[in-house]
Amino acid sequence: MIEYRAARMEDLERLLPLCLAYAAERAALSGQRLAANHAEQVRASMESLLGYPAAFTVVAEEDGQFAGYATATLQEPPPLFDGEPFVFVGDVYVEPRRRRQGIGTALVERLRGWAFLRGVGRLSAVIPARSEAARRLGARLGFAVVEELVYWQEQATEGAGGGTAAG
């Protein structure tokens, strides 16, 4: 039976393999390469989240093994806007062999409960455009697209003389 609970600093070592797998999946979806020191960056980021009072990390655990995790942080709206605080959902990751069992949904519901206990009724998330599973999960949980981030990257092409030129 899967149990859901708040992650603690002492969970960091067991949590890191999932965090690294999530980073690798995100990189593959976006076509980007992970930095050489990505493992150290992931460790520092998770350590910071676990120690930050306005952040919450929840884990799905079964028989001492983590099947997934999700992170959230309490955010204030940018000074340009008037509005209420919101919770930003940073990561939602479930091991591939454990997907489509309701674990992701349950993790996000725990984040929503954490937000509710803080008097916050809005959650925000960035969902990878190439992840149909993430889009389906968001839609099932009532998330609606309100803005799209669009990136442009200059493509390098072979130029005369064997170098590359911007195309």
- Please name the residues in contact with 10: beta carbons below 8 A apart, sequence gap of 6 or more: none
Which letter does DSSP use for residue 119 in this model?
T
CA max distance for the chain:
63
3-class SS of residue 72: strand
pLDDT in tens, 82-93: 778 888 888 899
**Could you give all domains of the chain from N- to C-terminal order, each with its CATH number?**
3-146 (3.40.630.30)
pLDDT in tens, 28-52: 887 788 889 998 999 999 999 999 9
Element (H, E) at 46: helix 38-51
